[in-house]
Amino acid sequence: MKPNMKFFISILLIGFSMFSCSSKDNEEDFWNWFSSNQERIYKFENNQEEVFDELHEKLIEIDSNLVFEFSKIRKDSTREFIISADGITESFPAVIKLVEKAPKLKKWEVKAFRQRNSGDGLQIVYDDSLKIAYDDIYFRHKKKLGKLDIELNIRNYRESAEMMNATYILLDGLIGEYDMVTKINGIEWRKLEETQKDSLYKIIKLREIVDSLK
């Protein structure tokens, strides 16, 4: 029996249409879910593990690299909801697209990428095994094609995932995730020799140098 080509083509078109709508509506589906659950998410401290697990699952449906942060409740009773690519360049478009489609929400300000912190005293502590602050990091740099290659000199540096993760968090806080990825070309890691500090910049200076590239 000959196959019914019209029926076969119709199935293909329906399948393609369903796939296209599913792909197209991922961001809309996310924000519909977020809007419906915004009060529970706003008070996430009441059930943090469950809320964070749900939010993580919803975000990775859009892009497997997406992560998030919340601010504390601010004086105007709003929170910041920050959607991040976790420093992975390939996922930047997914962050931008998702944030662009965010609805206006009374208690939320949605932002793309980890933001700069205005203060200079940020410190990261992992249990009792690691403590690192801006004061512990010095650097030198070279400009190359509108970006920077930097050599970090870190007090008590040891090669470990915890040390590198903590340093990246500090750098994101210093210049912001977007500038960290788009303006820093490469990083070399060294243990700080205290006798060489005078020939290096304090890491706080990196803000000014990155901004001079814009």
pLDDT tens figures, 64-95: 999 999 999 999 999 999 999 999 999 999 99
Tell me the backbone φ, ψ of residue 95, rounded to 5 degrees: -65, -50
Nearest in space to 50 (alpha carbons), one of 62, 63, 37, 61: 37
Arithmetic mean of pLDDT, 121-135 = 88
Q: What percent of the chain has pLDDT over 90?
A: 79
**What confidence tier does 13 reach under pLDDT thresholds 50, 70, 90?**
very low
Q: Is the pLDDT of residue 104 over 90?
A: yes
Render pLDDT for 28-77 as a digit per residue (tens, 0 to 9): 999 999 999 999 999 999 999 999 999 999 999 999 999 999 999 999 99
Taking every pair of C-alpha atoms in the chain, what is the biggest distance, in angstroms? 87
User: CA 214 to CA 212: how far, in whole Å?
Assistant: 6
What's the pLDDT score for residue 97?
97
When the pLDDT of each residue in the chain is averaged and rounded to a whole number, the result is: 89
What's the pLDDT score for residue 7?
37
Nearest in space to 122 (alpha carbons), one of 180, 170, 87: 170
Nearest in space to 41 (alpha carbons), one of 126, 113, 133, 110: 110
64-97 residues labelled b (16+ CB within 10 A) or e (exposed): ebbbeebeeeeeeeebebbbbbebbeebbebbee
Q: List 188's β-bridge partners, or say none.
A: 151
Q: Is the pLDDT of residue 111 over 70?
A: yes
Arithmetic mean of pLDDT, 166-177 = 94
Model's pTM, two decimal places? Answer: 0.79
